[in-house]
Structure 1
Amino acid sequence: MDAVQQIEIPTPFEVGRVNCYLFTGAEATLLDPGPNTEAAYEALSAGLNEQGFSVSDVDHVLFTHPHMDHFGMANRIVEESGAKTVAHRDAVVALNGPDRHFERERAFFRPFLLSMGVPEDIIASALMLPEAYTEYRKPFAVDRKLADGDTIDVGGGLTAIHTPGHAPGSVCFVSRTDDVVFTGDHVLQDVTPNPLLTITPGAGDERTRSLPTYLESLNRLRRVDATVGRAGHGDDITDIDARIQETLEHHNDRKELIAGLINKIGPMSAYDVMQEMFPELPATEVFAGMSEVIGHLDLLEDENRVHIEKEDQVRQYSMI
């Protein structure tokens, strides 16, 4: 692999820094440059300068997935350098128009969360995006739209592996010359990513079944010939297969915990389950909490272990 340097980019989010990767060879390519903040821009500029580059020298910008802590600064880089952007085709809608995409999501999830038992007075806070967050991301055009298995001629050659779940359009980039895969947020060393609910790419209004899809993508990544993961946050993953196994076991344990709650208490809405599991969760974190609970209920439904019926238009889950 051509030289690859990790540049730590600060973010205003609880997750902390994002790892941006600079590939140097005939051209300079960035992977996940970070959010649109001055602090992030200054850190990126300093990291590039240490390697003999400036922002204006960037030729390509790649993205593992369309979350603002990974893509927010892309528009500024493109304006300064003329760099070409590369992302999975399922990420394009969110990257081209993040605000429009968020409004579509918000319109869809208002009635959906009601049907899952969330009180109406909590839904507004659950679906609120702090106004400042809109400044951390700017829309941009995607020049190259990747499909699964496509190759990119940087860093000695990368292959895109479609790994939806944490987000639609998530990809991991596998080195064709080294024992390395760039995992974005799909696999992290110390954190288990929450596959958040969203709507499927395209014009239709249908929610993603994020957790089942995420677990399928984890198993798919296990078949890739790589041992080391260069993650989007935190430290490198020294044994990618072992970390994937830990993540699968975590979700199985959480699924069985929820099954035990429903079996003990009786018919419950997803919101009832969330309150049992996270009783002190603030309203602004309800969407993330509901995403986790609904994902595990989806797994139980796939295993034909729950019975679902509506009571006052709210879905109630009971164990079969």
Structure 2
Amino acid sequence: MDFMEQAPIPTPFGVGRVNCYLFPENDLTVLDPGPATKEAYEELGRSLDRIGCSIDDIDRVLITHPHIDHFGLAGRIVEESGARVFAHKDAADRLSDPIGYFAQEQEYFRPFLLSMGMPADTVDTVLELPEPYVDYQKPVTVTHELTDGDSIDVGVDLECISTPGHAPGSLCFLATSEDAMFTGDHVLSDITPNPLLTLAPDSDTRTRSLPTYLESLRYVLEISATVGYGGHGDQIPTLHDRVQETIAHHQERKERIADLVAESQPTTAYQIMKEMFPDLPATEMFPGMSEVIGHLDLLEDENRVVISEVDDVTRYELDTQQRR
């Protein structure tokens, strides 16, 4: 597209490259610059050089959501260019103190995962594993806090669309004049984003990430945009079709988990995760638990499960009055 350039930035994560978008008009704007690694910094520099710019020229950094593969490099950019930083207001605290926020999550999720049936030694391993990732991010201060409906002129007007679920403070940016939406990780071309469990904004409780995510997907269906530009992978040629596919995937997964509850009830979220993903490495167990608990939240919202607590562990059974 004439009004922007796409720069695939390398990451050290299994998801692969992150799509950074460059808007050279009306002062240089960078959307999702990538993680704080030497490789990402150098690739961003090469991409900017191709359009006759440098990191020193960056005036704005837009962040779709507070995950380190998307924002980690922003702090270094600000140090070198003095760029302004735009992100959703619910992401601001996480971006300004990502290490402190990670520590808060560890404190909260240790007893929570125990209550979901995960053995104590596994909980310790799961919560310690992400610690090396803190090297791939730098704190960054959000100078412009955004909310749903705000607009930014980057050569074209980008309207902010609030889409929490994959992460609190998730934003999509709608370029109405181009019939396009920059979707971050809210909608991707070939993988289904995992709405990870995290702490709710301004709260000491967890998010109900998957129900929130599905609500945000349905919100996108109300918005006129044909093409999607995601945070990973290829362009999404028919955005609404991809949204419908993603919703359908989660409905199918919900019914699979309902069947697993029926087969071994009463059961725990951890037991269901082990049934669904028997060979899951410890590095992936937190996303796996997020997946299972999110779908159990959906079943709870539909009054299809009975939840009890035995010896401080939460157990699930299907409600025979509501079973479908």
For Structure 1 versus Structure 2, the TM-score category normalised by the shorter chain is: over 0.9
1:250-261 paired onto structure 2 within 5 Å: 250-261=249-260
RMSD (Å) for aligned C-alpha atoms: 1.0
CA distance in 2, matches of 1:263, 1:201: 34
2:26–2:153 Cα contact (<8 Å) kept: no
Q: Could you say which residue in structure 1 is the equivalent of 2:322?
A: none
CA distance in 2, matches of 1:301, 1:261: 15
Return the offset for 1:176: 2.7
Q: Could you say which residue in structure 1 is the equivalent of 2:224?
A: 225
CA distance in 1, matches of 2:318, 2:130: 38
1:55-134 paired onto structure 2 within 5 Å: 55-134=55-134
CA distance in 1, matches of 2:160, 2:136: 26
1:88–1:169 Cα contact (<8 Å) kept: yes
CA distance in 2, matches of 1:52, 1:79: 21
2:3–2:24 Cα contact (<8 Å) kept: yes
1:147–1:160 Cα contact (<8 Å) kept: yes
Q: TM-score, normalised by structure 2?
A: 0.97
CA distance in 1, matches of 2:45, 2:129: 28
CA distance in 2, matches of 1:109, 1:155: 43
2:162–2:169 Cα contact (<8 Å) kept: yes
Q: Could you say which residue in structure 2 is the equivalent of 1:306?
A: 305
Q: Could you say which residue in structure 2 is the equivalent of 1:151?
A: 151
CA distance in 2, matches of 1:85, 1:316: 44
2:262–2:317 Cα contact (<8 Å) kept: yes
CA distance in 2, matches of 1:45, 1:239: 31
2:58–2:81 Cα contact (<8 Å) kept: yes
Return the offset for 1:258: 0.6
2:26–2:155 Cα contact (<8 Å) kept: no
Return the offset for 1:166: 0.2
Worse-superposed segment, 20-29 or 290-299: 20-29
1:128–1:284 Cα contact (<8 Å) kept: no
Q: Could you say which residue in structure 2 is the equivalent of 1:262?
A: 261
CA distance in 1, matches of 2:277, 2:88: 34
Q: Which runs of 5+ in 2 are unaligned?
A: 320-324
1:15-26 paired onto structure 2 within 5 Å: 15-26=15-26
Return the offset for 1:34: 0.3
Paired-residue identity, %: 59
CA distance in 2, matches of 1:36, 1:225: 34
1:40 paired to 2:40 = yes
Per-residue CA deviations over 1:257-286 (Å, capped at 9, x if unaligned) read 010111122211000110110111122221
Secondary structure, aligned partner of 1:139: coil
Secondary structure, aligned partner of 2:35: coil
Q: Could you say which residue in structure 2 is the equivalent of 1:286?
A: 285
- Which residue identity is paired with 1:160? C
Q: TM-score, normalised by structure 1?
A: 0.98
Q: Could you say which residue in structure 2 is the equivalent of 1:178?
A: 178
Q: Could you say which residue in structure 2 is the equivalent of 1:216?
A: 215
Q: Which runs of 5+ in 1 are unaligned?
A: none
Return the offset for 1:2: 6.3
Per-residue CA deviations over 1:118-167 (Å, capped at 9, x if unaligned) read 00010011112444311100001110000111001113100000000000
Return the offset for 1:201: 1.3
1:2–1:24 Cα contact (<8 Å) kept: no
Return the offset for 1:177: 1.0
**Aligned positions, number:** 319
Moved over 3 A (4+): 129-132
